[in-house]
Amino acid sequence: MNEGSKAAGQSGGNIGAIVDLRSDTVTQPTAGMRAAMASAALGDDVFGDDPSVNALQAALAERLGFEAALFMPTGTQSNLCALMAHCQRGDEYIVGQYAHTYRWEGGGAAVLGSIQPQPLNHAPDGSLPLADIEANIKPDDAHFARTRLLALENTVGGKVLPMDYLAAAADLAKRHGLSHHLDGARMFNAAVAVAAQDGSDPYDAAKRICSHFDSVSVCFSKGLGAPVGSVLCGSRELIKSAHRWRKMLGGGMRQAGLLAAAAHYALDHQVKRLVEDHALAKRLAEGLQGLPGLTVEAPQTNIVFCDVDKGIAAKLVEHLKSEGVLTTGLYKLRFVTHLDVDAEGVDRAVAATRRFFNA
């Protein structure tokens, strides 16, 4: 492992250490990230004069091809501010049934923004079928909520939305006068996977992905390993509106440069290493193949899903915990690789799972 590895006693591969595969949100700051935080120049971000926050916002906007950006405490708040900046009361956004903005973020768009979600079923590759999107765009009629926004997620369940699909979805949204938002919590995982396929640079791939959207929310506390924070990118006008919503939602922070410095370090140093997480996920999936009662989905990025009989799922999760391996799931287990897990930790997880089925 590179500098993303932790000091002795923290890495998943150490004897007796916990192998935490619950999520890539459990990572701890690396030594380099801690140093960047300790030396961060600070101001008051509510007054707009925290230099570290401003530097992060400018850097990400430039790298992804947007006019402006806004640092937020969480991805939930970043997505909510985006939806509320794009839509008014009585508007509607089209979204996937398993998208975070619909299913996993407390219903904030409806509760706080009075924005109606129109959820659609996902295709097997995670996309929303274009025909379904078009069929659910409401006519301009007082009987209906006004369809204003198409919201996609990439990656979605660890799956990478194809580049040609992103282009087609953007074209459809534009033809119907819809804005287009991306929940890019793991967008850099998608970019690294795209770059591996076409031989491009991950930052270039990220910019190409984002070129199809009017706004993008990028999370730094998942695979990129920062302790907290997301950034919303968009036009100056949209970011100005989102800034007002951030204030109302309690997202104004003062010396936030301590956190922004961690995210900026992750942007510069911990994007390209995501390929290691993807390789470990593949190693994990291959190690779990062939077990009776366990169906493993081939991972595209850093998330491995396994279908397991509901009657034994809870027992398997408890067994793994007793062997120092943490995961989540009731009938579909989820393993997530990240910078605090190495090959030895993955092999421990595989061995512990095999002992359960071979007992």
Name the residue type at position 9. G
CA atoms of 217 and 79, how far apart (whole Å)? 6
Burial tier of 98 (Cβ tally within 10 Å: 0-12, 13-18, 19+): middle
- Torsion angle, alpha carbons of 173, 179, 183, 187, to 10: 70
Nearest in space to 183 (alpha carbons), one of 95, 307, 73? 95
Confidence (pTM): 0.94
Give Cα 286 distance to the centre of its chain: 24
Domain annotation for the chain: domains and CATH numbers: 19-28+272-358 (3.90.1150.10), 31-269 (3.40.640.10)
Name the residue type at position 159. K
Residue 7 DSSP class = S
CA atoms of 26 and 292, how far apart (whole Å)? 30
Peptide bond into 155 cis (omega under 30): yes
Burial tier of 114 (Cβ tally within 10 Å: 0-12, 13-18, 19+): middle
The pLDDT value recorded for residue 27 is 97
The pLDDT value recorded for residue 7 is 37
The pLDDT value recorded for residue 10 is 42
C-alpha dist (Å) from residue 11 to 21, 25, 318, 327, 356: 12, 15, 21, 16, 24
pLDDT tens by residue, the chain, 359 residues: 445 444 333 443 344 689 999 999 999 999 999 999 999 999 999 999 999 999 999 999 999 999 999 999 999 999 999 999 999 999 999 999 999 999 999 999 999 999 999 999 999 999 999 999 999 999 999 999 999 999 999 999 999 999 999 999 999 999 999 999 999 999 999 999 999 999 999 999 999 999 999 999 999 999 999 999 999 999 999 999 999 999 999 999 999 999 999 999 999 999 999 999 999 999 999 999 999 889 999 999 999 999 998 788 899 999 999 999 999 987 789 999 999 999 999 999 999 999 999 85
The pLDDT value recorded for residue 331 is 78
The pLDDT value recorded for residue 5 is 44
The pLDDT value recorded for residue 293 is 86
3-state class of 281 per DSSP? helix
Sign of CA dihedral 307, 13, 225, 5: negative
Neighbours of 74 (CB within 10 A): 17
**CB neighbour list of residue 241: distance below 8 Å, 6 or more residues apart:** 84, 85
